[in-house]
A and B are shown apart, each in its own frame.
Chain A
Amino acid sequence: MVAIAAGDPEALRTLNSRYGGMLAAVAKRFLGNDSDAEEVAADVLWQAWREARSFDPARGSVAVWMITLARSRSIDRLRAIRSRGRTRAEEPAAEAAPDPAYEMDRNQRAHSVRRALTELDSNERTALELAYFSDLSQTEIADQLQIPLGTAKTRIRSAMIKLRKALIGGREQP
C-alpha cells in the first residue's frame, strides 16, 4: 500500500495479480457474470489506488478492506442490474499469471477457510452463505430459509463466532 500510495503502477499491478481474481470471484458470486465481476474488481483496485493514503492498517488488512469494498460494490451493482432488468450471462474466463509466493500463502489460507466452513453445521453454513453472498436482510434470509428470524440470527451468529475462532482465534462468546 505504501508503494501504491507513492503512485507506483507496478504496485497496483501486483495488487491486481494477488487480489484481482479473488475480488472478481466474490463479485461473480453476487452478479453471476465475468464482465460485471471484472468491472467491480477493477473499481475496487482503482479505489485502493486512489485512496491508499487514507488506508488505516489498524482497521484491518488490505485484503479484508478490498473484499468489503467488493461486496458493497457488488450489492450496489446487483441492485442496479435488477432495476434495469438485465439478465445474467456466463462468459469464458482468461488465464492469469500466478505469483508463486502469494499463491502458496493464498492456498494455505483458502485451505484454512474451507476447513473452517466445512466444520460448520450445514444449517449454519447455509445461513452464513446467504448473509455473505447476497443482499438479503436478516428477515429476508429467514424467509428464504423458512425459519423464524431468531433462528436465522442464531445460526448466522453461531457460524460467525466459530469462523472467527477458527481463523482469527477470537474469544468464544457466551
Chain B
Amino acid sequence: MTHAEIKDFLAFAALDRLTPDEIHALEAHLREGCAECPADLAEYREAVGSIAFALEPAATEDRIWNSLQSRLAATVPQAVRGTSGSQMREAGGRRASGRIGMWRAATAAAAAAAIVLAVYAGVLTSQVHRIAGAYQQEFVVIAGQVTGMRGQLDSARAQVATLEGVLNDRHRLDRVLLSPDLRLIRLDPLPPAPQASALVAISEARHAAMIQALKLPPTPAGKTYELWWITRQSGPVKAGLFTVAKENTVIAPASPPPAGEHLQLSAVTLEPAGGVSKPTGSMYLKGAPAYE
C-alpha cells in the first residue's frame, strides 16, 4: 500500500474506524519509519480528542471521586497484606539467617508502613479539601441567612420606631387633654369622607395642639392631609400635616392657633405632599370651637 493510500487512512485511524487489514497496513507503514504519517496521525488524534470538549461536562465529578477514593482505599489493605506476607517470609529468614534477616524484615515493614502512610496522607488531604469545600458552601448559606435576618431586623426596627412615634403622640395628646385650659373642637365629616370624624385639642398654656382623626381614607400617594385654623383676622392658617395609613386612625401634633386671634373654624383638606400655605384641595372635615 502506498504512502498516499496510508495517508487517507489516518483520519479513520484516529477515529478507530479502520478495518483489520487497514490496521495491519498502517502499522507496517509506520514500522517502515515514515517520517510524516506519525505526526499527522497525532494531530488527527488531537483533533478527535478535542471533539469531547464541545460536550457540556457531566456534573458527576463527586460520584466519580467517591468511586476513585474507594479504589484508593482498597489499595491500602493490599499493601498491608503485602507487608504481612513479607514480614512472615522475613521471619522465616530470621530463623535461618539471624540478624541480617531481622534487619531486612524491619526495612520491608518500614517501607510498607511508609507507603501506607503516604496513601492515607493523600486520602486524608483530599478529604480535608472536600470538608473545607463543604464548610465554605455552608458558610455561604449561613451568610445568606444572616443577610435575610438583618433585613428582618431593620424592618422590625422601623416598626418599633413607628410604634414609638404613635405612643409619643398619644402621650402628647394626653397632656393636652389634661391641661386646665383645654379647648376641644369636633370636626364633622364632609362629602369626600362621610364616615370620618376628628377631635382637635388645644392648650395655649402648653402651646400645643393635637388632632385625633378616625375613618379618614388612607392618604393617596403624593398627597397629605393638612389641618387649618381659620381666624377672623388671618383667614386660613396652616396648623399641621399628617397622613393616614390603612388603619384609618391617626393622632398628630399641630401648631396652636395664632395667639390673640379669634378662631372661627378648624378644617382638614387634602393637599399635595409637603403641604401648601393656603388650602387648595378638597375639604374632608370641618368644625367650630364649642364656645362659638
Contacts and interface: CB of A to CB of B under 8 A. Distances in A.
B63 A38 contact: yes
A61 B16 contact: no
Contact of B119 (A7, A29, A128, A161): A7
Contacts of A59: 42
Contacts of B43: 164, 168, 170
B59 A21 contact: yes
Contacts, number: 182
B59 A42 contact: no
A101 interface: no
Prevailing SS type, chain A contact patch: helix
A10 B68 contact: no
Contacts of B122: 7-10
Given A20-B65, A96-B62, A161-B11, A61 B44 contact: no
A68 B49 contact: yes
Nearest to A9: B122
B166 interface: no
A9 B60 contact: no
A84 B233 CA distance: 107
Chain A CB within 10 Å — which of B12, B51, B53 has the most? B53
Given A20-B60, A25-B52, A131-B15, A168 B46 contact: yes
Interface string A7-25: 1111011001100111111
25 contacts: A9-B122, A16-B61, A17-B61, A22-B57, A24-B60, A26-B52, A28-B58, A38-B60, A60-B42, A64-B50, A67-B49, A72-B16, A94-B60, A94-B62, A96-B57, A97-B61, A106-B57, A110-B54, A137-B17, A156-B12, A160-B47, A161-B11, A163-B50, A168-B47, A173-B7
Interface of B: 7-8, 11-12, 14-17, 19, 40, 42-65, 67-68, 71-72, 118-119, 122-123, 125-126, 129, 133
A9 B51 contact: no
Given A25-B56, A72-B16, 8 more contacts: A9-B123, A10-B129, A20-B57, A45-B64, A64-B46, A156-B12, A160-B14, A161-B11
A170 B51 contact: no
Contact of A21 (B46, B51, B60, B118): B60
A153 B13 CA distance: 12
A93 interface: yes
Nearest to A7: B118
B62 A64 contact: no
Contact of B58 (A9, A24, A42, A168): A24
Contacts of A132: 15, 48, 51
B68 A16 contact: yes
B45 A60 contact: yes
A24 B57 contact: yes
A24 B64 contact: yes
Contacts of B58: 21-22, 24-25, 28, 34, 37-38, 41, 93
A88 interface: no
A64 B49 contact: yes
B44 A160 contact: yes
Contact of A109 (B19, B50, B126, B133): B50
Contacts of B62: 94-97
A110 B53 contact: yes
B60 A22 contact: no
A117 interface: yes
A79 interface: no
